[in-house]
Structure 1
Amino acid sequence: MSRTRFVFRPALIAALLGAGACSAPRPVTQPASPVLDAAAFEQLRRKNILFLSPEEQLRVYPNVERMWPTRTIQRSDRPYPLPPAPRALDDVRYSVRGTSYTLRDFIERTNVSGLLVLKDGHVVLERYANGNTSQTRWTSFSVAKSVVSLLFGAAIRDGHIKSLDEPVTRYLPALKGSAYDGVSLRHLLQMSSGVAWNENYGDPQSDVARMSEVTLTEGLDGFLRYMARLSRAAPPGTRFSYNTGETHVAGAVLRAATGQSLSDYLSARIWQPFGMESDAYWALLRERDVEHGGCCISATLRDYGRIGQFALDEGVTRDGTRVLPPRWIAESTRPAAPYTGVG
């Protein structure tokens, strides 16, 4: 089974919903995942989340708040309604090497643990598998990167950050004298700092794997020391390189700028005002430390859907309060440079 991730991008949602629909589906569940006994729990807790087997993923992803340090993202007392408007999506098809597949084929072949489709704020399709239900919190990985981008928009709107053209080192002096000299917040969010980085998840010696090990033992200070030792591969703003470490750096910038934890700021500016119905959890680097800026928010499928709806609504809550700058979503999702990447 491939690692299941929920990705919410306005363009992706619009394209999916425009593909057509017919008869009404029902939410589907499958038998529950194996229950963790104490010995299995402790064994899994000691593992690097990047290197879990498919069977281990099914045990860990719904239980992250029980296994590792997390901070709570507080739910709203006025949930954003997601009324049902069920429609089958049997006409949605895709082709691979000349063979046509349906949406059901996709769900079964990729072992999707949950799928939610929204159109105009209504639930068109909602399905669960692998023992999950509408109450299950499932750990996403890089959804956190999009959430950090939303929080940057909120921080600019709130006046905590003046401009994306400010240098990273203004907020994180620990990176002065490193390859991050001359790197702006814009470069950071576009993953175009030019700092050398290896994001190979299959390589235990890659930067992303070594960074994960460092943060477990040394927390934020150790993480910043690791990033400060990296070399430069290209001038800032000239090359895109997917880099989870830089989203961790972006998270550290947000903490310095707002004076709040990522979880608290997310609760106050988006989770509660927009109307997320359940508490969520954000994994910490280690006990009583800071959140992973690039990873590991654990939330219900419907609240992941509400994140997508928040983006589709341009960062405006139901009462008309604007949380993000007017063009933040548009600027975050359009190509802004000649190299590969968006935003």
Structure 2
Amino acid sequence: MTETSPDQTVPDAPVIDKDNWQDADNVRWSFQHVDQVLPTTPISRGTGPVAQLPADLQDLGSVEVPKTEFSEARSVRSVIEASDTDAWLVMHNGTVLTEEYFSTMGPGTEHLLMSVSKSLVGTVAGVLAGAGDLDPSRLVTEYVPELAASGYAGATIRHILDMRSGIKFSENYLDPQSEVRQIEEAIGWSETKPAGQPTGMYDFLTTLEAKSEHGGVYEYRSCETDVLGWVCEKIAGESMQTLMSRVLWSRIGAERDALIATDQYGVGMFDGGINTTLRDLARFGYLYSNRGVSLTGEQVVPTSWVGDTLTGDADIRQAFADGPDDNRMPGGMYHNQFWFPFPDSHAFLALGIHGQMIYMNPGANFVGVKLSSWGLPQDARKLFPTIRAFDALAKSVSAPVVD
């Protein structure tokens, strides 16, 4: 069903600034008004036709979600209501079956995607690779010589696509001294900025050091996507905003321009700064459930890149298993900036902190999108029931059943 449902009250805009916009009490408002907190630049949808989203609206809330490590068996509706949902949508065979908005979120609201942005940047890299402009086996420094004196010397594009560089970078969101918080200070996502620290995205990336050999185990590092974005910009000779519009956003039949938050120099926050609507995010997700072909029928992502993304290999899975992160995804992998949570499933994910998700199941031609405002950046009690809810929905609406 398409509807707007009442939910908790949102804070008034004037009390929110760069030092508190990511606080638990503020994220619901700030994730829907990023352009009022941070500098942003449009990612143009171009002038092409909007890809229509045919609808066969159904109430899927009663579908049962099996028991997980984090919750008893319950309904999809219970999962949605218990996980700070701002909006969610289910699409099967290109038809919308459920579309629902809560509180101030609506069809035209551009919501911050956080690290779902990584999957969009990874897709841009895939388009460049398909055109022969980017070679994943080449060194990062061949494209960005400015990183030659940094820890990225010797790392390949493949290493950063799969987060297997040896860079020292803590992703501990609750530690104000972690590198993931330092990068926010450098790009202006926080007013707090210690004296002598890097200014701007590029400047920050040049300061990173290696702690181990490149090509080892997987470790989640947001800086990998920022380097990947810089590589793409160097190859194209244009900003990510312009590049993503040209090779991706203007080709999926998007309804609205997307936005990307930028640093003080106009450089995009590639790893987590993209904002878009629920429907346009579903249009993007559809690419990966349809061999890279958009709802308008255009081959946007090369089939070879989609195939490589979905396949991976034993080495990638082993690197994921041996990594230090507690992902609770045994047998899974991280590949080409996407998550593959289970070895026995066709499903894979684009994920962002505070509950942003695209769930894609090409075997079922199924896409689920959920935008949220969790109080904590990471919350397994909300993440895994949501994944299993989309699993259950994919099985429920598909024939034959595909795991």
User: Deviation of residue 267 (structure 1)?
Assistant: 1.2
User: Deviation of residue 99 (structure 1)?
Assistant: 2.4
* Long gaps (5+) in structure 2: 189-197, 321-332, 336-403
Match of 2:80 in 1: 107
For 2:13 and 2:226, how far apart are their aligned partners in 1?
33
User: Deviation of residue 155 (structure 1)?
Assistant: 1.2
Q: Which runs of 4+ in 1 moved over 6 A?
A: none
Provide the alpha-carbon RMSD of the alignment.
Answer: 2.0
The superposition leaves residues 44-80 of structure 1 with CA deviations (integer Å, 9 ceiling, x where unpaired) of: 332265xx22221012111111221111011244111
The superposition leaves residues 104-148 of structure 1 with CA deviations (integer Å, 9 ceiling, x where unpaired) of: 111111111111111011111111112211111111111110001
1:327 counterpart (301, 304, 312): 304
Match of 1:237 in 2: 215
Provide closer, same or farther for how the CA distance between residues 113 and 317 of structure 1 changes in structure 2, counting only shifts above 3 A.
Answer: closer
Match of 1:152 in 2: 125
Provide closer, same or farther for how the CA distance between residues 33 and 250 of structure 1 changes in structure 2, counting only shifts above 3 A.
Answer: farther
Between the two proteins, the alignment pairs up a number of residues equal to 308
User: Deviation of residue 327 (structure 1)?
Assistant: 1.9
Q: Report the structure, 1 or 2, having the larger strand content.
A: 2
Tell me if 1:94 matches 2:70.
no
Match of 2:353 in 1: none
Match of 2:319 in 1: 339
SS at match of 2:91: strand
Q: Report the structure, 1 or 2, having the larger helix content.
A: 1
Match of 2:205 in 1: 224
User: Deviation of residue 306 (structure 1)?
Assistant: 0.6
CA contact (8 A) 2:186 2:200 kept: yes
- State the identity as a percent: 27
CA contact (8 A) 1:145 1:294 kept: yes
User: Deviation of residue 159 (structure 1)?
Assistant: 3.3
Tell me if 1:182 matches 2:163.
no
Provide closer, same or farther for how the CA distance between residues 35 and 196 of structure 1 changes in structure 2, counting only shifts above 3 A.
Answer: closer
Match of 2:6 in 1: 30
* Long gaps (5+) in structure 1: 1-24
Q: What does 1:7-22 align with in structure 2 at a 5 Å threshold?
A: none
Q: What does 1:105-144 align with in structure 2 at a 5 Å threshold?
A: 105-144=78-117
For 1:318 and 1:119, how far apart are their aligned partners in 2?
12
For 1:139 and 1:246, how far apart are their aligned partners in 2?
20
SS at match of 1:99: coil
Tell me if 1:269 matches 2:239.
no
For 2:84 and 2:309, how far apart are their aligned partners in 1?
30
TM, length-normalised to structure 2? 0.72
SS at match of 1:266: helix
Q: Which amino acid aligns with 1:297?
A: I
Match of 2:53 in 1: 82
User: Deviation of residue 319 (structure 1)?
Assistant: 6.0
For 1:325 and 1:251, how far apart are their aligned partners in 2?
19
Q: Which amino acid aligns with 2:274?
A: I
